[in-house]
Amino acid sequence: MLDRRDAVARLLADRGELLVVSGLGAPTYDVAAAGDSPANFYLWGAMGIAAMIGLGLALAKPKARIAVITGDGEMLMGLGSLATIGVKQPRNLSIVVLDNRHYGETGMQASHTAWGIDLVGVAKSCRFAEGHFIESDKQLDAARNLLHSAAGPAFIQVRVKAEDVPRMLPIRDGHAIKLRFMEAVAKLGQDC
């Protein structure tokens, strides 16, 4: 089992022009803790939407690399979006689920993954080209590389410890998050 902050920091190491959408709650704090960036679109609400924002971005910017980093509860609320992504087959989109098997923001109640619901299995059933369950430190480098080079859609479930880590709160104003993200997109290299 992995430490969530370490895992996200490793996944976002040398991130280059990777565009990141973070699901509400702990994943948003984890992504911010790995280093604030205008290329992070932090969600603070709209639970269940993260993967679909990734799809809209991936279709709009087919040469850019997009990573959605969210939690097991947020992914469960938008499970149908995996089927929608599977239909469109975006090669440049990766979904990372930080799976602590609990709803950390609301009091650590067990989530469906605690009962054996297999998200990687769902993603593979939905025609994700890559589906991986990561639980050890030595798997992280390969997972990080998938975000940059996988012929997606890729789904990576990262088993992390259910623990309270200090909150790292990024900007919360939706207009500001949007505007700086769009500026970052506009500055992407010509290859994107």
Partner 1 sequence: MDPTVDKAAQWPDTIYDQFRRARVRQVGYVPDAGHSRLIQRCIDDPEIADVVLTTEEEGVGLVAGATLGGQRAALLMQSSGVGNCINMFSLIKNCGLPCLVLVTMRGEFAEFNPWQVPMGAITDDCFRLCGFLVYRVDDPNDVDDVVGAACDMAFEGDQAVAVLLSQRLIGRKVWSK
Which one-letter amino acid corresponds to residue 130? Answer: E
Q: At what angle do helices 50-60 and 80-88 cross, to 10 degrees?
A: 10
Residue with Cβ nearer partner 1 (38 or 124)? 38
Q: At what angle do helices 26-33 and 4-11 cross, to 10 degrees?
A: 60
Nearest-approach distance from CB 44 to partner 1, in angstroms: 8
Helix (H) or strand (E) holding 41: strand 40-42
Residue with Cβ nearer partner 1 (121 or 142)? 121
Residue with Cβ nearer partner 1 (53 or 96)? 53
Nearest-approach distance from CB 133 to partner 1, in angstroms: 24
* CA 51/CA 55 separation, integer angstroms: 6
Residue with Cβ nearer partner 1 (55 or 143)? 55
DSSP string, 52-108: HHHHHHHHH-TTS-EEEEEEHHHHHHTTHHHHHHHHH--TTEEEEEEE-SEEGGGT-
Nearest-approach distance from CB 56 to partner 1, in angstroms: 2
Residue 90: cis peptide before it, omega within 30 degrees of 0:
no
Residue with Cβ nearer partner 1 (12 or 57)? 57
Nearest-approach distance from CB 79 to partner 1, in angstroms: 9
**Which residues, 6+ apart, have CB-to-CB distance to 35 below 8 Å?**
12
Q: Which residues contribute to the site for partner 1 (CB under 8 A)? A: 21, 41, 43-61, 64, 78, 80-81, 83-84, 87-88, 174-175, 177-178, 181-182, 185-186
Nearest-approach distance from CB 185 to partner 1, in angstroms: 6
